[in-house]
Amino acid sequence: MATKVRDIMTGSPTSFKPEIDIVTVARSMRDEDIGAVLVQDDDRLHGLVTDRDLVVRGLAAGGDPAQAKVGDVCSDVTASVGPDDSTDAAARTMRERAVRRLPVIENGNVVGIVSLGDLAIEKDERSALADISASTGNR
């Protein structure tokens, strides 16, 4: 059983600059079958955007989605973990901050993302969340 975040995180996460339109981001998320991407400008982490953020803050807000910028719809990052932090510490941080994904930061650089689903698969592979998280995406 893995005990470190680095053992279960998604490494080399997809990221976009804040000025990229949400349609481009949504298509990339679809093509990569992922539910979240980072919003970064060079080495500065602006936030994290989920598929839900794109719908609720982007599409539902009205206007032209091709003109809406991902930097305007992303969620602020309120917490992060390091790759050598324990999976228990990551779970505790998610619980305390009420978040489902955490950037993994090492030496000031984002090196991965760990999700609630990653933790579920690791902690209790027989749970419903682990089963759903481990399945292939709906296409």
pTM of the model: 0.83
Over residues 77-91, mean pLDDT? 95
- 3 state SS for 62-106: CCCCCCCEHHHHCECCCCCECCCCEHHHHHHHHHHHCCCEEEEEE
d(CA 10, CA 1): 17
What single DSSP character describes residue 21? Answer: B
For 30-59, the pLDDT digits (tens) are: 999 999 999 999 878 999 999 999 999 999
Domain ranges of the chain: 5-134
d(CA 101, CA 83): 14
Q: Report the candidate in 51, 21, 23 with the shortest Cα–Cα distance to residue 36.
A: 51
Select 5-134's CATH number: 3.40.50.10070, 3.10.580.10, 3.40.50.11750, 1.10.760.10.
3.10.580.10
